[in-house]
Structure 1
Amino acid sequence: MANSAQAEKRARQAEKRRRQNASQRSTLRTFIKKVVKAIEAGDKEAAMQAYQSAVPQIDSAANKGTIHANKAARHKSRLNAHIKAMA
């Protein structure tokens, strides 16, 4: 329970930030799932298109601090490796 105006404001800001982060994370996961589903379906063309649209979302999440830069790089690298492994 906030006992001062400053604490109330910080609580409001923290809640707003939490919602924004949750939304960003959810969007990121959705884009990654689209790529994974295309890979599992064996459709290389669809996987490439999904990957192309996922990369800016991954980079955006990393730039905003929602995820760590190394995690973003790891996601991009692994997804791309899976796509390239498709014959």
Structure 2
Amino acid sequence: MANTPQSKKRARQIERVTEVNKARRSRIRTYLRKVEEAIASGDAAAASQALKAAQPELMRGVSKGVVHKNTAARKMSRLAARVKSLAA
């Protein structure tokens, strides 16, 4: 348990940041799920649009420190390959 005033303040700050990060992570997952659903439905145009919408959201997660850069790159690469194969 936090004892000093500084550690109490840090505990409060961490709670707020954790809530923001949870919301951000959830938002990213939603965008990725939309891409997955579009791929599953077989609609190349919808999958491409969903991928374009998901990319900035994923990269924003990287810049905010919610997702590791390599994780985001791997996810984007794999999704892009799947969307590309769908169009072909």
Aligning the two structures, in what range does the TM-score lie when normalised by the shorter sequence?
A: over 0.9
Counterpart in the other structure of 2:50: 50
Counterpart CA distance in 2 for 1:66 and 1:57 is 11
Counterpart in the other structure of 1:85: 85
Partner SS state of residue 3, structure 2: coil
Counterpart in the other structure of 2:21: 21
Q: What is the TM-score of this pair, normalised by structure 2?
A: 0.95
1:29-73 CA-to-partner distances (Å, cap 9, x unmatched) read 000000000000000000000001000001100111101000010
* Paired letter, 2:33: K
Counterpart in the other structure of 1:68: 68
Counterpart CA distance in 2 for 1:79 and 1:37 is 12
Q: CA deviation at 1:17?
A: 1.1
Q: CA deviation at 1:82?
A: 0.3
CA RMSD of superposed structures (Å): 0.8
Counterpart in the other structure of 1:5: 5
Q: CA deviation at 1:4?
A: 1.8
Unaligned runs of 5+ in 1: none
Counterpart CA distance in 2 for 1:2 and 1:55 is 39
Q: What is the TM-score of this pair, normalised by structure 1?
A: 0.96
Unaligned runs of 5+ in 2: none
> Structure 1: which 4+ aligned runs deviate by more than 6 Å?
none
